[in-house]
A = this chain, B = another copy of it.
């Protein structure tokens, strides 16, 4: 409902985005790549890379991860096989839960 202009992000999300941006910049400098060079490898313009390294919440999710991967940052501390394994485990766990959530005559939500 809120127009994307009005969008608000939690402080935690903002901090995490900023951190990833800084990690990408650090990785780039360590690998002695210019902004232009990294931008080309990621497949974006230099201006977009600037936003990536600032941790701008509005950049494409895929671009952040692509840039991170190129400079050697692996989320989840896993290589490709590890990520795929985790993905299957997630599938398994999802399969154990109800497919739909019903709120007909329900009260709250949280527990565990």
Residue numbers of A with Cβ under 8 A of B are 1-2, 7-20, 22-23, 25-26, 28-34, 37, 40, 43, 45, 56-66, 68-70, 74-76, 79-80, 83-84, 86-87, 90-91, 93-94, 97-98, 100-101, 103, 106, 109-112
Contact = CB atoms under 8 A, between A and B. Distances in A.
A58 B61 CA distance: 6
30 contacts: A1-B40, A2-B43, A7-B62, A9-B65, A9-B66, A10-B70, A12-B80, A12-B83, A13-B66, A15-B83, A15-B84, A15-B87, A16-B69, A22-B91, A26-B93, A26-B97, A28-B101, A29-B98, A29-B101, A32-B110, A34-B100, A34-B101, A37-B103, A57-B60, A57-B61, A58-B62, A59-B60, A59-B61, A60-B61, A61-B61
A74 B11 CA distance: 13
Number of copies: 2
For A11, A61, A64, A84, the residue with the greatest tally of chain B CB atoms inside 10 Å of its CB is A61
